[in-house]
Structure 1
């Protein structure tokens, strides 16, 4: 064979190799998308349905009066927000432990982890209920007007049962999520929302119970979620991972508490930035208008945020499962795919919000002044929605890999040293109003997103897989020892 024929043959082989690589990449991407959406789809639906519980109530309360709307927003984002952040954050430790244990096929560990999480979460729930009781003076101390603080304070006392529902519900969700049993969560959440819609109409509109009716329906619906998940888990659908209640749930609690605390601090520092915006809005010249506008924008952002929340759940499961199974390249590839998909979807949402910025506020309020304020801050809302396409996904990567403590320090510096300081200066000192407050907070979120992106890009995934195996052996050995000791007794 002459040299020209060899060159031609080599060229054909190179083309075949190139096209084969392209087909392989496309196939891998499609497979990864199927696995991600298998988890993310029901997770997004679950998040939307559960978020809708408070959103439905807020919409009905908004037509009672502006003070009631502001009070509900303050209670929901500040008082209940603290409890929600702590419970969700500490419960997220299970995303690391259950996800990696499931990937390593150590199924019996999952049920014990969930019970330990119940024990760890119920204790801070008890202490946080005291904050609910004394929330009125705390809100006044933080600058909330007396009228809004008094209504929000009474509502906070009525909402204490919801706090304990959080403590029981979130560990069960992480337990099911790690096993990709997310469709069951969606059905249970859908049933709870249907019940909530009927009860909200009955108690708030038909019977005219006002804020009392709002509290009753929210508490009842969250307790219905707890009962639904308990029935599903204990009814035989999780035979490999649920072996009944065990005293082993009370072993190794100290180490479990510290991992839960790191998860809690990490996610709380993120979630509480919403609370900061609401509190600072209450210090502006027209606090009632500013708080109402901020609450409406947060509500809209919350709806848009449900997609990244679903991706957060999916990526934490994919990363923890793949690292637990010893597949670091698959974990890295999953991160790239989910970030790309999230950016496309959230950018679309931001575009829709910008087009409808003069119309959508009418869904939440009848006040022309509030609607104009919402329209003014809509560009900041859009930028926040776009940022949320990346930041939650990277947080999910951190949870799946077990980086909670590191990210907690990053969040503290970005959100509070940079974001909070900028928000106070721009909103209050330079008198830029709600736009200045939100702009300052966005600076902190942008900085945090950039830092997490750099960390993720520089991650040694082979090392992370080794650390995952070490973590499973450490926690698994303590569990195995406990099983041996209990069998001897």
Structure 2
């Protein structure tokens, strides 16, 4: 996946986490009707933001050439980026609705809809790529179709009446008090982006090393294994992803560092989740910037290029950033006055509270 795609995709993941914070707090306060309003506000903010970021997709090729990437890589990344435009718009709805449903503990619905997407995506990919021989075009077309199918299923579930307490229909009230949602969305986006762009930049650094194709392939494989850690055995080898012996040996050389990364990845996401639930995204964004960009990235660059540890040096730098982030988040969680955070959250919900239709009706009756 090209850096431009990661740039926009991760920003949407981050901004969508504001939906998780707001809907989760509204559900906890039993202000269920506000969840649908928060969802609509998130759609508006995220769609506007994504539209502003579209030039990153459209001009991906010259951007990569400006960064010094090889012409073939830049052209390929730019071509794929154009295909990702319809996909990334589906992500706006898919992520926000998922967090809206998770806040109501409707995880089973999400699982079934995701399974439906998977079941459709696999045969579509096989048909377009292997049978019809459409190549990259076919793969991207299958991805877009299955992604929008998931969104369509989520729309049917919400609009079909299965969320009667939290979805009261579209309303202009969603456009009121939009600025606080924008601020929280930006804080959430910055928090997640600083964390996930970190890995994208490390992959970019690997592209400037000797034998760049092997370095990028080995590094990307290890990142994929980290992402799959909860789904597959940790004893997996690099040959699952590649037939290149040199790449597989490079993956094997990184396996010890990969093991530490897997261990850490079971800790810091929990701490980040606590921060998101409490609306502490701004603090986490600062922690991520210091730990990843002031500590991890320089260490990786020095070890990789100055000490000549190559990809292993970059990975050590990555782990250094993650370790310091984990320690900082642990300290923040320990020192946070949670009673005070509850008071802040209650005040925020009261400030943004809008009466439901039932409450307005009751008020009219009493009048």
- TM-score, normalising length from structure 1? 0.71
> Quick one: which of 324, 328, 336 aligns to 1:459?
336
CA offsets, 1:75-122, max 9 Å, x none?
Answer: 2xx222112211111111112111111111100100000000000000
After superposition, the C-alpha distances for 1:195-252 in whole angstroms (9 at most, x for unaligned) are 0000111111222211111211111111111111111111111000001111111111
Q: Deviations over 1:116-161 (max 9, x none)?
A: 0000000111122211111112122333222122111111111110
Q: Work out whether residues 23 and 35 of structure 2, in 8 Å CA contact, stay in contact via their aligned partners in 1.
A: yes
Which residue number in structure 2 is paired with residue 167 of structure 1?
92
Q: Which of 252, 256, 268 in structure 1 is aligned with 2:177?
A: 252
Counterpart CA distance in 2 for 1:98 and 1:389 is 25
1:415-430 matched pairs, under 5 angstroms = 415-430=292-307
| Whole-angstrom distance in 2 between the partners of 1:257 and 1:265 | 12
Q: CA RMSD in A?
A: 1.9
**For residues 129-144 of structure 1, what are the structure 2 equivalents within 5 Å?**
129-144=54-69
Does 2:205 align with 1:280? yes
Q: Which moved more, 1:80-89 or 1:239-248?
A: 80-89
Q: Does 1:85 align with 2:15?
A: no
CA distance in 1, matches of 2:67, 2:312: 20
Partner of 2:246: 369
What are the within-5 Å matches in structure 2 for residues 330-409 of structure 1? Answer: 353=234, 355-356=235-236, 360-409=237-286
Give SS of 1:92's match.
Answer: helix
State the alpha-carbon separation in 1 of the partners of residues 323 and 253 from structure 2. 21
Contact 2:33 2:356 in 1 (8 A): no
Which runs of 5 or more residues in structure 1 are unaligned?
1-72, 308-348
| Cα separation, 1, equivalents of 2:152 and 2:90 | 10
Structure 1 outlier segments of 4+, above 6 Å:
481-484
1:240 aligns with 2:117: no
Matched, 1:187 2:115: no
Secondary structure of the corresponding residue to residue 166 of structure 2:
coil
Judging by fraction of residues, say which structure has more helix.
1
Paired residue for 1:100, among 21, 25, 39? Answer: 25
Residue 463 of structure 1: CA displacement? 1.7
Match of 1:113 in 2: 38
How many pairs are equivalent?
361
State whether structure 2 residue 101 is matched by structure 1 residue 224. no
Q: TM-score, normalised by structure 2?
A: 0.94
Aligned position for 1:205:
130
Quote how far apart the aligned CAs of 1:481 are: 11
Question: Once the two structures are superposed, what CA deviation does each residue of 1:398-417 show, in whole Å capped at 9, x if it has no partner?
Answer: 00111111111111111111
Output aligned runs, 1:16-165, within 5 Å.
Answer: 73=1, 75=2, 78-165=3-90
CA distance in 1, matches of 2:249, 2:92: 39
Does structure 2 conserve the Cα–Cα contact (< 8 Å) formed by 1:419 and 1:444? yes
Task: Say if 2:265 is the partner of 1:410.
Answer: no
Q: What SS class does the counterpart of residue 266 from structure 2 fall into?
A: coil
Alpha-carbon distance in 2 for matches of 1:143, 1:282: 10
Q: Give the distance between the partners of 1:239 and 1:423, measured in 2 at CA.
A: 51
* Contact 1:129–1:163 (CA under 8 A) maintained in structure 2: no
Structure 1 contact 420–440 (Cα < 8 Å) conserved: yes
Q: Which residue of 2 aligns with 1:333?
A: none
Whole-Å separation in 2 of the counterparts to 1:141 and 1:426: 25
Equivalent residue of 1:153, what SS?
Answer: helix
- Return the alpha-carbon distance in structure 1 between the equivalents of residues 247 and 131 of structure 2: 27
d(CA) in 1 for partners of 2:131 and 2:19? 41
Residues 371-425 of structure 1 show CA distances to partners (whole Å, capped at 9, x for unaligned) of 1111111222111111111111000000011111111111111111111111111
Q: What is the rounded CA distance, in whole Å, between the counterparts of 1:406 and 1:105 in structure 2? A: 27
Q: State the distance in 2 between where 1:159 and 1:293 align.
A: 24
SS at match of 1:208: coil
Q: In the aligned structure 2, how far is the partner of 1:428 from the partner of 1:206?
A: 45
Q: Which of the pair has more CA radius of gyration?
A: 1
What is the alpha-carbon distance in structure 2 between the residues aligned to residue 145 and residue 379 of structure 1? Answer: 31
